[in-house]
Amino acid sequence: MSKHRIWLHSAATALVCAALGAAAPAAQADDTQHTVIPADQIEWKPGPPVLYGVEATVLSGKPGEEGPFIMRLKFPAGFDYPVHRHPGTQGHITVLSGAIGLGFGETFERDAAPLLPAGSYFVMPDEWHYAWTADETVVQVHGNGPWRVQFRDPPKTQ
């Protein structure tokens, strides 16, 4: 048994789901018709507390509900996101700009998480991982909801 305790805060999960659902731009994609969302019309909003410091926008679907979704996350420069996982959700992530360090395991080890530059793609299964950025970075996440965050240990910023 690991010395770390697992922290899944239902209120935090509810906030993620509610805030990400509310982060959709006015021009959110509609699966029943042709939809175009120009880059300058994407509305970035502060993410919920569980995504402290990250801005988010939902392009399609509702991450907090059953079904497919597409969202973008904008990480600030010099950002460390602690060890966490997304129970029951597999994410397909594309780095759109900047670069993100991605590591796997139960301990945050920046040196073991090399930066993946813009254009990189990865699949995030339901396993412990962590991330960091040197510069502002935008990723696009495709997945099936509900999308949740479970921290290995409570972040110090919450």
Q: What confidence tens digit (pLDDT) does each residue in 75-91 have?
A: 999 999 999 998 888 89
pLDDT of residue 29: 56
Is residue 113 within 8 Å of 131, Cβ to Cβ? yes
pLDDT of residue 153: 85
Percent of the chain beyond pLDDT 70?
78
Is residue 35 within 8 Å of 27, Cβ to Cβ? yes
Is residue 86 within 8 Å of 126, Cβ to Cβ? yes
Is the pLDDT at 119 greater than 80, yes or no?
yes
- Which pLDDT band, with edges at 50, 70 and 90, does 12 fall under? very low
CATH of 10-30+39-151, one of 2.60.120.10, 3.90.180.10, 3.40.50.1820, 3.40.630.40: 2.60.120.10
pLDDT of residue 50: 80
Amino acid sitting at position 46: P
**Sheet-wide strand order for 80-85:** 115-117, 99-104, 129-133, 80-85, 150-151
Q: What confidence tens digit (pLDDT) does each residue in 124-135 have?
A: 888 999 999 999
Q: What confidence tens digit (pLDDT) does each residue in 26-73 have?
A: 445 556 778 888 999 999 999 878 888 899 999 999 998 999 999 999
pLDDT of residue 71: 95
Which residue has 């254009």 as its token pair?
A: 119
User: Is pLDDT larger for residue 51 or for residue 146?
Assistant: 146
Q: Considering the chain, what is the average pLDDT of its residues?
A: 82
- Which distant-in-sequence residues (6+ apart) come within 8 Å of 47 by Cβ? 16, 19, 20, 23, 53, 54, 55, 56, 73
Query: 146: which 2 tokens?
Result: 């509900």
pLDDT of residue 115: 96
Spans of all domains in the chain:
10-30+39-151
Is the pLDDT at 13 greater than 80, yes or no?
no
Q: Is 140 exposed, middle or buried (0-12, 13-18, 19+ CB in 10 A)?
A: middle
